[in-house]
Amino acid sequence: MNTSWKKTLAALLWILAVAVAPSSAKDESIDQLIARADAAQPGQQPDLYLEAAERELKATVESYKANRPQDGRAGLEKIVTYADKAHASAIHSSKRLPHTEIKIRRISTRLRDLKSNVDVDDQPLIQTAIDKLEDFRTDLLRSLFPSNKHD
């Protein structure tokens, strides 16, 4: 085989690998993603947990839209759990703090939007989840901007 043919073949294989990699990650279940996050390096965990929280958020919104509030309530608990793991691993590793705070803020905003579109009985549950996410954001911001006060 001549050298230019090998280079072309290598480039095509690389493009194919890059194109297939994101789609296989999307095919991964949330449980598989969590297992991968649990086993990941501390610096990679926040992103993986946040991806799981965002996927769970999407499923939760769909559950409420499909008039399956019990599935939505279970999803809220999972969102909070995954966001907590993301926030804890970001603080522990001191990596991805701003990114984690931004992503949790976006999830919180989407939950606020959801709150206005659900039954009155489910609104307090969603507000509780929002409050917990805001607590995580506060912790992250405190880690980003430590107080100079000496107690």
Asked if the structure places residue 16 within a domain, the reply is no
| Helix %, strand %, coil % of the chain (to 5) | 80, 0, 20
Q: Residue 150 gets which letter from DSSP?
A: -
From the CA atom positions of the chain, what is the Rg in Å?
Answer: 20
What average pLDDT score do residues 132-137 get? 98
Residue 11's CB: how many other CB atoms inside 10 A?
10
The answer to whether the CB of 116 falls within 8 A of the CB of 66 is no
Asked if the structure places residue 10 within a domain, the reply is no
For the chain, what is the mean pLDDT?
89
Write the single-letter amino acid at 136.
Answer: F
Residue 151 pLDDT class (50, 70, 90 cuts): low
Asked if the structure places residue 48 within a domain, the reply is yes
Specify the pLDDT at position 24.
Answer: 45
At a CB cut-off of 8 Å and minimum separation 6, what does 21 contact?
none
Specify the pLDDT at position 1.
Answer: 56
Asked if the structure places residue 11 within a domain, the reply is no
Give the domain extent around 127.
30-144
Asked if the structure places residue 12 within a domain, the reply is no
The full DSSP string for 55-75 is HHHHHHHHHHHTT-HHHHHHH
